[in-house]
Structure 1
Amino acid sequence: MTTTQEEGRYTEALAHAEHLLGIPLETFLEPTPGEPANGADFKRLATVQTFGAAWPRDEVLDTRTRALVSVTIAAVLGTLEPLRGQLRIALNNGATPEEIAEVFIQVAAYAGAARAFEGYQIASQVFAEVARGLEAGGTGGA
């Protein structure tokens, strides 16, 4: 059960996520077959923590820098689908493909070439998606 205040925080977090990603997060939060009822609680709590508490903290790290840090973390952990989202956030918030390539140079140096290559394959796919969006007259965001 949630309170009105909790629902307000969740709504704000969803709006912030959409602003960062360029697409609604709700698409990724739909229940899946066999998912337990408290799965929705997990998704709500994780969304509020991530997009309602961590990402808005731009007093010390701006969003662009925070996005590049998040790309690095996802790449090092090998979480490829979250990496795809972090790349979109980075590109939507001012990071360039060249800067992202430099992130993968650091990942290769400190986390290993195999992990960096695996992540860079995802980055290349996202770069191509953005390029296709630009060619089609879109904004290039995800």
Structure 2
Amino acid sequence: MATPQEEGRYSEALANAERLLGMPLEKFLEPTAGEPANGADFKRLATVHTFGDAWPRTENLDTRTRALVSVTIASVLGTLEPLRGQLRIALNNGVTPEEIVEVFIHVAAYAGAARAFEGYRIASQVFAEAGQA
């Protein structure tokens, strides 16, 4: 069971995630069938680390730049569902679709066309969802 301090950090991380994503993160954190009892602990810890520890560190790397880096990482790793979230964060924080396409041009040069095309396909869907296609 989480302490009140841990619960406060989790609440702050969820609020930060919602601000970045433009939608609540909770729908992605709901328990799934067959999830082990400690699955909720994992999701809470990962959320606090990502949205409570890493994203707020804007003193040396601003949110907009961090969003572009995150799109690049998710694309290169081929983690396509997380890429959707990173694209939403980027668009919600001032990154333009044209800048995102430039990321995929760079990904193609350094990580391969297959990864870039996969990422671009997801980006095109997210652009359409966001009304930016």
Asked if TM exceeds 0.5, the reply is yes
Match for residue 66 of structure 1?
A: 66
State the alpha-carbon separation in 2 of the partners of residues 30 and 83 from structure 1: 19
Per-residue CA distance 1:70-128 (angstroms, 9 max, x = gap): 00000000000000000000000000000000000010000000110011000000011
Task: State the AA in 1 paired with 2:56.
Answer: P
Match for residue 26 of structure 2?
A: 26
State the alpha-carbon separation in 1 of the partners of residues 86 and 41 from structure 2: 23
1:131 positional shift: 1.1
Are 2:53 and 1:53 equivalent residues in the alignment? yes
> Counterparts of 1:49-128 in structure 2 under 5 Å?
49-128=49-128
Runs of 4+ in 1 over 3 A off after TM superposition: none
State the alpha-carbon separation in 2 of the partners of residues 20 and 59 from structure 1: 17
SS in 2 for 1:35: coil
State the number of aligned residues.
133
Q: Normalized against structure 1, the TM-score is what?
A: 0.92
Q: Normalized against structure 2, the TM-score is what?
A: 0.98
State the alpha-carbon separation in 1 of the partners of residues 28 and 131 from structure 2: 23
Task: State the AA in 1 paired with 2:130.
Answer: V
Task: State the AA in 2 paired with 1:124.
Answer: S
SS in 2 for 1:131: coil
SS in 2 for 1:59: coil
SS in 2 for 1:102: helix
Match for residue 129 of structure 1?
A: 129
State the alpha-carbon separation in 2 of the partners of residues 79 and 120 from structure 1: 13
SS in 1 for 2:130: helix
Q: Give identity over the alignment, percent.
A: 84
Per-residue CA distance 1:24-80 (angstroms, 9 max, x = gap): 000000001110110000000000000000000000111000000000000000000
The unaligned stretches of length 5 or more in structure 2 are: none
The unaligned stretches of length 5 or more in structure 1 are: 135-142
SS in 1 for 2:131: helix
State the alpha-carbon separation in 2 of the partners of residues 33 and 127 from structure 1: 31
